[in-house]
Amino acid sequence: MAVSIGRPFPCLAGRSRLLTENLQSSKHSIFCSCSCSYSSHSLKFKRQYTSVMIVPTGIGAAIGGFAGDALPVARALSSVVDCLITHPNVLNAAMLYWPLPNVLYVEGYALDRFAEGLWALQPVHQNRVGLVLDAGMEEELRIRHLQVADATRASLGLPVIEYIVTDTPLEVEKWVDPKCGQSTGRIKHPGSLIRAAQTLVNRSQVNAIAVVGRFPDDDIEDTDDYRQGLGIDILAGVEAVISHLVVREFQIPCAHAPALSPLPLSPSLCPKSAAEELGYTFLPCVLAGLSSAPQYLVRNSEPGEQGCILASDVDSVILPRDACGGDAVLAFARSLRNKPLIVTVEENETVLDDTPVKLGIEVAKVSNYWEAIGVIAAHKAGIDPFSLRRNKIHNIQCTPVVAANGYAIARGRTIF
């Protein structure tokens, strides 16, 4: 029963019995209707709260530098915010993944362009995913990855449309940058990857690309630290190089899964690295993420951006304390319109040394992700996070007014 505020009730004479019966029979529905109506109307007065969570790839992050070990943070954060934007490094856990309906899976290069205001994010219901396999893979590895694709289609209903094998082996090379300690690399034949992706886009009209490159197998000694939850992910840097190449060329979602020979069983394995030991491939999480990843809209290339998410919609950014030098973070920090709250997490150390102090970035420093989520919850509620701390709210300050003669005036006094 709908009740309009401000309109008088009709005369109850002659209707009291009918009204009483209606009230008794629909008591529960009235409560639900009023509650739902109030809730839906109240939400219209505030826009959605959007956060960006960044853990750069291949920098040895204490949390997020291994096999999807930042995924619990993303799950917790997504329960607090309305929309969370993050990248495959945070959400990918090899054979494991977790569906999060309010989380946008955005490749790193695209995230940088989004933060700079050059691209918008257009949420989708479903993408048509194409799969590129490196011609350098052995037949057994190729079959394993095709079986993964078929399994995700049959068991998860994912729209993996077609696959293609590159016309030339990609020949992936990887190394650690001696200057910063970050993992990186290259592929010797990038044209082969571009041609394969182009064929899928043109022939099958796919709008997301998963790439599987054959990586050189490491000596067991080289992977021991990583398997013990130490050091850096030596694969991650060149994986980013590969996905950046496709995203830059086609402006569509892309993510990469490395093809490797299975490692010997290790009786002592760090839980942070264990997800990569569960099967023959790292592909399942990539296909799951790409199936609903937002499309990238190059701004001004389309007539409208209705329904898209822009950089100016971002309310907060969360990242490791010493990883503030990336394009996305610097773009958000320099934003002149709706500048987001930037939260740095002290506990999440990396091999970098790009601190807010060095870069002149104003941030809220927290010790760990527990605190970060609390700060975000307060910020979303419209509360100054410092008001939740002891003795952190000080007397309000007076801003000097600049007079016409150029001198600053405050409380009737001239300040020289």
334 lies in a domain? no
Residues 6+ apart with CB under 8 A from 171: 136, 187, 188, 189
32 lies in a domain? no
Which residue has 């290790």 as its token pair? 266
pLDDT of 70 over the 70 cut: yes
Pair 159, 126: CB distance under 8 Å: yes
* pLDDT tens per residue, range 55-66: 999 999 999 999
Domain that holds residue 258: 50-298
Q: At 32, is the pLDDT very low, low, confident or very high (cuts 50, 70, 90)?
A: very low
Pair 176, 183: CB distance under 8 Å: yes
Average per-residue pLDDT for the chain: 85
20 lies in a domain? no
* pLDDT tens per residue, range 183-238: 999 999 999 999 999 999 999 999 999 999 999 886 555 677 777 878 788 888 99
pLDDT score of 232: 86
Q: At 28, is the pLDDT very low, low, confident or very high (cuts 50, 70, 90)?
A: very low
Cα(343)–Cα(371) distance, integer angstroms: 10
Residue with the bigger pLDDT between 4 and 211: it is 211
Q: How many CA atoms lie within 13 A of 246 on its CB side?
A: 32
C-alpha 286, offset from chain centre: 13
pTM for this prediction: 0.83
Beta strands, E only, 82-171: 83-86, 103-105, 119-122, 129-133, 160-165
Cα(267)–Cα(182) distance, integer angstroms: 28
Locate 12 and state its tokens.
């109850």
Residue with the bigger pLDDT between 168 and 38: it is 168
Number of compact structural domains in the chain: 1
Q: At 1, is the pLDDT very low, low, confident or very high (cuts 50, 70, 90)?
A: very low
In this structure, what are the phi and psi dihedrals at residue 298, rounded to the nearest 5 degrees? -70, 120
pLDDT of 12 over the 50 cut: no
pLDDT score of 41: 47
Cα(221)–Cα(228) distance, integer angstroms: 11
pLDDT score of 411: 43
352 lies in a domain? no
- Amino acid making up residue 367: S
Cα(168)–Cα(343) distance, integer angstroms: 44
Nearest Cα to Cα of residue 280 among 143, 99, 130, 136: 143
Q: Are strands 413-415 and 408-410 parallel, antiparallel or unpaired?
A: antiparallel
249 lies in a domain? yes
pLDDT score of 338: 85
268 lies in a domain? yes
5 lies in a domain? no
Pair 127, 104: CB distance under 8 Å: no
138 lies in a domain? yes
